[in-house]
Structure 1
Amino acid sequence: MISLRPRGGHDAMRRAAARHGAGLIALSPWSLKLREDDDARLALKAALAASKVVFTSPAAVRAANALQPLRTHPRQQWFAVGAGTAAALRRAGIAQVQAPQRMDSEGLLALPGLAELEGIEVGFVSAPGGRGVLVPSLQARGARILRADVYERVPVPPSSRAVAQLQALSDPAVLALSSGEALQRILETLPATALAALRRARIVAASERLAGFARECGFDDVVTARGPRPADLLAAAGDART
């Protein structure tokens, strides 16, 4: 299994792969850095005061909670893009969190609480880049977006160990895809021989949108998982082999 996660973020995928008797090649396109400047703190304060608050990842929850304790206010609604983000919010003290069954941007946008937004302030806690469909869609519904980018992705080169592991592959592997931006970055930075091995991999995508993106990037062997969790991606990889 090939994992595209931030540096230091492969543990859950590694454990899931081990339960299936598989090894893991950890490809990290970037590391995550907390934004601690005054602008980030002020933007977060405004976002957390909105009527509705959206978090796009567990990393956004951890970064926001590091900048200020998360507290809900009367008549607020909190939203998470998926189960992992919702769990992170609950650990941070937010008991009532709405999250979609379909754990992607489209699933979040289908939640009833985000349907009618004319004139409503929506706090959007995230990082620069990624989730490009969410903000325009919320704005199209009339929302006033109060965006707080509380962390950033700092590009890093693929590790020499991961490159060597890819170059040593004798059989096609499975690439777990939960971020189009991560795939694009890796395709741009891998050495040619490692890239050739990656292109032989079967893609297990976390959503139909990501499956389509993988095909646009030239991958032919693409299947779609139920969601972005490691267990979902591993299950889809196993189903595709049978």
Structure 2
Amino acid sequence: MATPHAEPALNGRRILICRPEPEASRLASRFRAAGADVRVLALINREPLPETPERRTLILSLDEFSRVIAVSPFAARLLLDEIDTWWPQIPMGIRWYGVGAGTAAVLAEHGLNPRKPPEGWTSEALLALPSLNNLQGERVLLARGESGRELIRETLESRGARVTPLPLYRRFCPEYSPEQIQETVETFAPEAIITLSGETLNNLIALCANSSHNLYDRLLIVPADRVAEQARAAGFTNPCIPGSLADKDIVATIASQLAGRDGGSGKAK
């Protein structure tokens, strides 16, 4: 019988994590516990947007919304911080939603009872929830970054909702010197690369194109079918979707896929 919480064996495996902080360091610790050699090269970072009078007005009118959706754990944390600033307690009667278990967990830590997809962690999975089918005339607050996919907003508006986007942060690609890229990508030569958003993948594609580094045959961890197709279209041959975006499942997926490669089978899906 397997030891509870035992880490998969990844002794000496070279893993490149392209996530932002603090998620990158947290995931790196999990990989190192499994024996892996890890580098972090964040290809997307986030910073909170400065508060504006318009945003403060939205937060102060929170009780006018029947539903609040957070698209990511980062969006959920920033939103809750602002609510704590302006509300002595969270208004009652609001239905809360998280796009995936990680986002829902942040809301739940605040004493809320969020809805989330029973399976999956994408916008499409969230929109399949029956409670979001008929929203005629309802006001929905959408906590998110300042740019990104418009699928949730457009779909809910088509179902009759009045959706108000609440941009809380911006995403950007950090700049690295040629020496940093050389050491991390070419000298380190990762066997597996973790890119958990389409935007992160785009930045990896640009890095490959601009620096002549060919990473297209490496195991590439992506969050969803949509991003896997994007990766294949760009020339990556081994995109793989983990069982979930929890750290333990990402580690287990890479361990399984690399072991499968060693055995000549089990190619990434």
TM over 0.5: yes
Asked if structure 2 preserves the Cα contact closer than 8 Å seen for 1:47 and 1:125, the reply is no
1:182 Cα offset (Å): 1.3
Choose the corresponding residue for 2:27, options 7, 13, 25. 13
TM-score w.r.t. the length of structure 1 is 0.87
CA change 1:53–1:124 in 2 (3 A) is same
Q: Structure 1 CA distance, aligned partners of 2:155 and 2:146?
A: 17
| Structure 1 letter corresponding to 2:53 | D
3-state secondary structure, aligned to 1:90: helix
CA change 1:74–1:62 in 2 (3 A) is closer
1:62 Cα offset (Å): 1.9
Q: Structure 2 CA distance, aligned partners of 1:29 and 1:38?
A: 31
Asked if structure 2 preserves the Cα contact closer than 8 Å seen for 1:83 and 1:103, the reply is yes
Asked if structure 1 preserves the Cα contact closer than 8 Å seen for 2:69 and 2:140, the reply is yes
Q: Structure 2 CA distance, aligned partners of 1:168 and 1:186?
A: 17
1:163 Cα offset (Å): 4.3
1:132 Cα offset (Å): 3.4
3-state secondary structure, aligned to 2:104: helix
Asked if structure 1 preserves the Cα contact closer than 8 Å seen for 2:218 and 2:237, the reply is no
Choose the corresponding residue for 1:165, options 184, 192, 203. 184
Mean Cα deviation higher: 160-169 or 98-107: 160-169
TM-score w.r.t. the length of structure 2 is 0.79
Q: Structure 2 CA distance, aligned partners of 1:45 and 1:199?
A: 48
Choose the corresponding residue for 1:30, options 44, 48, 54. 44
3-state secondary structure, aligned to 1:10: helix
Q: Gaps (5+ residues) in structure 1?
A: none
| Alignment map for 1:192-231 (pairs within 5 Å) | 192-193=210-211, 196-231=213-248
Q: Structure 2 CA distance, aligned partners of 1:43 and 1:106?
A: 26
Asked if structure 1 preserves the Cα contact closer than 8 Å seen for 2:83 and 2:90, the reply is no
CA change 1:229–1:38 in 2 (3 A) is same
The percent identity for this pair of structures is 24
| Structure 1 letter corresponding to 2:124 | E
Mean Cα deviation higher: 10-19 or 78-87: 10-19
Tell me the residue number matched to 1:80.
Answer: 98
Choose the corresponding residue for 2:256, options 231, 239, 242. 239
Aligned pairs, number: 239
| Alignment map for 1:125-140 (pairs within 5 Å) | 125-140=143-158
3-state secondary structure, aligned to 2:193: strand
Asked if structure 2 preserves the Cα contact closer than 8 Å seen for 1:43 and 1:147, the reply is no
Q: Deviations over 1:77-98 (max 9, x none)?
A: 100011211121122x232111
Q: Structure 2 CA distance, aligned partners of 1:102 and 1:6?
A: 21
1:175 Cα offset (Å): 1.5
CA RMSD of aligned residues (A): 2.4
Asked if structure 2 preserves the Cα contact closer than 8 Å seen for 1:206 and 1:233, the reply is no
Which one has the largest radius of gyration?
A: 2
Q: Structure 1 CA distance, aligned partners of 2:181 and 2:60?
A: 39
CA change 1:167–1:83 in 2 (3 A) is same
3-state secondary structure, aligned to 1:125: strand
Mean Cα deviation higher: 120-129 or 48-57: 48-57
CA change 1:189–1:107 in 2 (3 A) is same
CA change 1:186–1:204 in 2 (3 A) is closer
Q: Structure 2 CA distance, aligned partners of 1:46 and 1:198?
A: 48
Q: Deviations over 1:76-128 (max 9, x none)?
A: 1100011211121122x232111123111121111222121122111100112
CA change 1:204–1:186 in 2 (3 A) is closer
Choose the corresponding residue for 2:121, options 82, 103, 106. 103
1:228 Cα offset (Å): 2.1
Asked if structure 1 preserves the Cα contact closer than 8 Å seen for 2:18 and 2:44, the reply is no
